[in-house]
Every structure is written in structure tokens, then in C-alpha cells.
Amino acid sequence: MKKALITGITGQDGAYLARFLLKKGYEVHGIKRRSSLINTERIDDIYQDPHEKNLKLYLHYGDLADSTNVIRIIQQVQPDEIYNLGAMSHVKVSFDEPEYSADVDALGTLRILEAVRILGLTEKTKIYQASTSELYGKVQEIPQNEKTPFYPRSPYAVAKLYAYWITVNYREAYNMFACNGILFNHESPLRGETFVTRKITRGVARIALGLQDKIYLGNLDAKRDWGHAKDYVEAMYMILQHHTPEDFVIATGKTTSVRDFARMAFEEVGVILEFKGTGVDEVGIVAESRNPEFPIAIGSEVVAVDKRYFRPTEVDLLIGDASKAEKLLGWKPKHTLQDLVKDMVQADLELFRKDLAIKQQGYEVKNYYE
């Protein structure tokens, strides 16, 4: 039985990848951070109590900022494959926490590679590094492929640039099976709530159910190549099964603006949006409301711009060319953007219908602090 170690197992991709590998018959080990509140919500349904027999999923406390702990876990698990997904992954937040982002996203990767080397596992353990389309940053070429020059535009992307190159360097220096998956944006109902797609689909669901009036967004002109996380974790696995260690771009090849993503998400609840104004004065107004289940008043302003969500340096346009992955791995996305939007909006409607039911039943959350 193969053993996989996933850093970042409690995140969006970690949760999907863990499920995927368990289905493939792997023994899966995950590193979770200690936090004051339980942070395993995304993997609760696959969680196995350590007292159960025939355990297939093991969680270890750990942190990529702590090399002794990284070495100890890798020594204990002796994994066949490591998927290094753990990261401070929010681009905007990395401007507020640049040093921490560098420590975890850049040096964290070094700690994993070095642990494998120190422990003499270079021939046994394959390593997947979660690289990102943010490496391309300021547009140099359209679409972006494995040969496109990098121009990172945030502390996050600069840290990930180090992680990219240290992975290449360990592959070349020590003959390690270490690969970069240069993944373009991928989303799902499990996406963190502060990334733009999930912020929009949550907002749409709450507005449709009468729980919220408006969504405040930043740069509506930014364009991203958005895919479905389910398809992308399969690509991670395929990259490590390839006969040689190589780096791959994973993307859909289509790009969409934040404004159009918002349009599509509102259409899912029968609302046709019209955008008026420019820059920080732009607003999204309900032009038509076609679903009687969600009676949102025509003329209501449901999207507005707040400049606090603008970034000091922005990545304007990402569109990936995944033809290498298609040719060598046989990977192609199965979900369209339409599928993704539907999946996310429907999941958020389900989530917030529960809140609405609680509110309608007159239950109030007790305030324990007074």
C-alpha cells in the first residue's frame, strides 16, 4: 500500500486530494496546524478516529515553519509521495504578512526537500510542489506555458518563486523526483471564503435568501483562468505518476473577468446584472429577477466596489496553456466554468438555507460573553 503525506490537508486542495488518494487505496497522512478552534471541517467526513481498526487516514500536528517537526513526521511516515500544499495562500494577505509568507511558502518547501534528503529518502519519496500561475504575474506572454518567463507581483508569488526554483534545484542536484505543478486558479464549494469566487457565490446565496444586501469587491477587471479543484487534484497525482519528474501547467485555457464571474453567479439565482459606472464608482444593479423563489427587487444595488480590496500590485490577466499536461499525462479539465459556478452557488444556497431556517424558527445564538 502506497503512503502519501499531504501538507495543507485541511485546505481546499488537501481535502479533495485526500479523498482522491484514499479512493486509490493509499494510506494518507496529513499535517494539520494547531489552532484554538477545530480546523478540520473540510475533512470531517473522511476523518477516522485513531481508535478505529484499519486506519487509512492519519493526522499529525505540524507546521511548515518548524523544520524539526517536518523531519520527524517524514521520518515516521516514510512516505512514497509528498504533496506540499501547505501555504499562506492568500495573495492580498501576503502584503500584510510578507515575512511569514516567505517563511512558510518559500522556506517551508526547502524544509520538506531537505528533510527528504537528510533522511536518505531521495530515491523513495516523490515530491509535488504546489506552484502557481501567480509566478507569471505581470503579463509577459499569452497564454502562459511552462516556458513563459516569471514576473511575480506579490510577496506570496515571490515566495512561491523561491519554492519553484528550489524544487527544480533539488531535482537537478540530488536526482530527486520533485515536480512543480503550476496550477492556475481552481475553485470549489470548499474554496476559502475570502477568495473572490467564493466571496461572490456566498454573497449571491445570502442575497437570494434575504440574509445580505450587497457584495463589496475590489478589481472587477482582473481576469483569471478558473477551473474546478476536483480536476486539479487529479493532475497533481498524475504529475507524480509520470515516468520522469517534470513541471506542468494545469489550466483550462479560458479566462473570465471577476465582473463576468459575478454575472454568472447571479444568473444562477435568476438575476440579470447590469454594471454601471467605472472604477471605484462601479456598481452591479439587478436588471431582471426571473426566479420567484428568490424575489430580489429590480433596481437593487447588489455589487459595489471597495478599494480596500485592491492590491498594491495586481495580476491583470492569467490564461494557461496546459497542452503539455494533455499530451504527456492525458490530463484535461472535466468541468466547465458554468459547472463550477453552479456547483458553488448551489452549495452556498444549501449552506445558508440552514441559517435562514434557524432565523425563521426564532432561534437566537446565545451570547456567552456578557
Cβ-contact 232, 251 below 8 angstroms: no
Contacts of 46 by beta carbon, 8 Å cutoff, 6+ apart: 18, 19, 22, 57
Task: Clarify whether 134 is annotated catalytic.
Answer: yes
245 interacts with ligand NDP by CB under 6 A:
no
Work out which of 28, 82, 87, 106 binds ligand NDP, going by CB under 6 A.
Answer: 87
238 interacts with ligand NDP by CB under 6 A:
no
Q: Which of 166, 122, 185, 112 is nearest to 333 (CA)?
A: 185
Q: How far is the CB of 15 from ligand NDP (least distance, A)?
A: 8
Q: What are the two backbone dihedrals, phi and then psi, of residue 86, each rounded to the nearest 5 degrees?
A: -65, 135
For ligand NDP, how many residues bind (rule: CB under 6 A)? 26
Cβ-contact 154, 95 below 8 angstroms: yes
Residue 175's SS3 state is coil
Q: Which of 143, 220, 179 is nearest to 328 (CA)?
A: 179
- Contact string (CB under 6 A) for ligand NDP, positions 12-31, x = contact: xxx----------------x
33 interacts with ligand NDP by CB under 6 A:
yes
Task: Clarify whether 151 is annotated catalytic.
Answer: no
Q: How far is the CB of 224 from ligand GDR (least distance, A)?
A: 5
Q: How far is the CB of 322 from ligand NDP (least distance, A)?
A: 13
Contacts of 265 by beta carbon, 8 Å cutoff, 6+ apart: 200, 201, 204, 341, 344, 345
Q: How far is the CB of 94 from ligand NDP (least distance, A)?
A: 10
DSSP β-ladder status, 215-217 and 81-84? unpaired
Set 7, 10, 125, 132: catalytic member: 132
Task: Clarify whether 267 is annotated catalytic.
Answer: no
Name which of 14 and 155 has its Cβ closer to ligand NDP: 14
Name which of 72 and 311 has its Cβ closer to ligand GDR: 311
Angle at CA 227, nearest 5°, toward 225 and 231? 145
Burial class (CB in 10 A: 0-12, 13-18, 19+), 48: middle
7 interacts with ligand NDP by CB under 6 A:
yes
Work out which of 162, 169, 192, 300 binds ligand NDP, going by CB under 6 A.
Answer: 192
What is the contact surface with ligand NDP in residues (CB under 6 A)?
Answer: 7-8, 10-14, 31, 33, 35, 39, 63-65, 85-89, 104, 130, 132, 183, 185-186, 192
Q: Which of the residues are catalytic?
A: 132, 134, 156
